[in-house]
Amino acid sequence: MPAERWNEERAKRVLRADVPFDDLDSNREKAERIRSGFATLREKLAEVSPDVLIVFGNDQRELFDFSNYPAIAVMAGERFTGSFLAGTDYNGMQRGELNGSPHFAATIVSGLMRRGFDPAFSIEMPAGGHGMPHAIMNATRSLTDLSIPIVPILLNCYYTPQITAERSYQLGIAIRQIIEADTSNLRVAVIGSGGLWHTPGEEQTYIDEEFDSKLLTHMAAGNIRQMARSFDEYEPPASDGTQVVASRGAKSEAMRAAGFESTGLPTLGGPQGGTRETCCWIAAAAVADGFEATVIDYVPINASPIGVAFAYWSLS
């Protein structure tokens, strides 16, 4: 969204009283930092010229619904369709197509099963749905020219009971083992899409910058196990209404329309809302567990509000 519209959107939301107000110049400066972060990641990805991408992202009832909602799903098809944000027009959408990597996806599915996971998998796109989640579509478009085959791994980050950070960590470790054991000599890049702290649509929403900073510090040090533990051990203050797990369907009409209807099932702990997308970061980071990360930037976007960050690893 153009920075000129950020505070228009802020005015439509109910933010906690202590969330700072950024003027237009500040928002423009932050928008430029976001563009720069994406540009750096795109450049780093192009430098390694991968043969295939693994993209961890969350599904917000775009492919799956409550008739059957997997915690982990590997997309093993040949092509995927979905919607991109169209250029700088935040409200405009356009359909697009991504190339899959069925053979490598099959390697991941079988490799995960050998390592104690029971992932769902989809060879075909479910009929009548939105399409591939925006967590996959927008991240891939932002970082590539869409020509690189991808294997999306979808995590349930929104709907209780969600995947835990510990299980996301274990998943990333397993993916690393599968890549290392693969004999096809493919160059594989791994992307984590989502987060960091945000609770979209909730009243009295805010950014917990201290929480984000703690996790990014563990990630920069290559200590992804501690990153996962810090996430799962988080206990919200009793006064924080953005972290309440709602009863079945007890969300606002606007949130239900956006796909945020509650299951009414219990949580396994850790932050709720969009912040849970951090588990996609943890899964991707675990593939590089033990290697220090380069954190390009952390940008608190108060108009949303959301903590936006960019980081990369170079293992080759």
Domain range for 11: 3-312
Instruction: Give residue 65's pLDDT band: very low, low, confident or very high (50, 70, 90).
Output: confident
User: What's residue 194's pLDDT?
Assistant: 93
Instruction: Spell 110-131 as b/e; 16+ CB within 10 A means b.
Output: ebbeeeebebebbeebeeeebb
User: What's residue 314's pLDDT?
Assistant: 87
Least confident of 68-72, 203-207, 251-255: 251-255
Instruction: Count CB neighbours of 246 within 10 A.
Output: 16
Task: Provide the CATH number for the domain around residue 163.
Answer: 3.40.830.10
Average pLDDT rounded to a whole number, residues 241-245: 86
User: What's residue 316's pLDDT?
Assistant: 63
pTM of the model: 0.94
Cis peptide before 24 (omega within 30 of 0): no
Instruction: Say how many domains are in the chain.
Output: 1
Sequence-ordered list of residues with C-beta below 8 angstroms from that of 249, at least 6 positions apart, any chain: 256, 261, 262, 264
pLDDT tens digits along 159-206 = 999 999 999 999 999 999 999 999 999 999 999 999 899 998 889 999
User: What's residue 262's pLDDT?
Assistant: 83
Cis peptide before 200 (omega within 30 of 0): no
More confident residue, 117 or 245: 117
288 and 177 in contact (C-beta within 8 Å)?
Answer: no
Instruction: Give residue 256's pLDDT band: very low, low, confident or very high (50, 70, 90).
Output: low
pLDDT tens digits along 4-38 = 999 999 999 999 999 999 999 999 999 999 999 99
**Average pLDDT along the chain:** 92
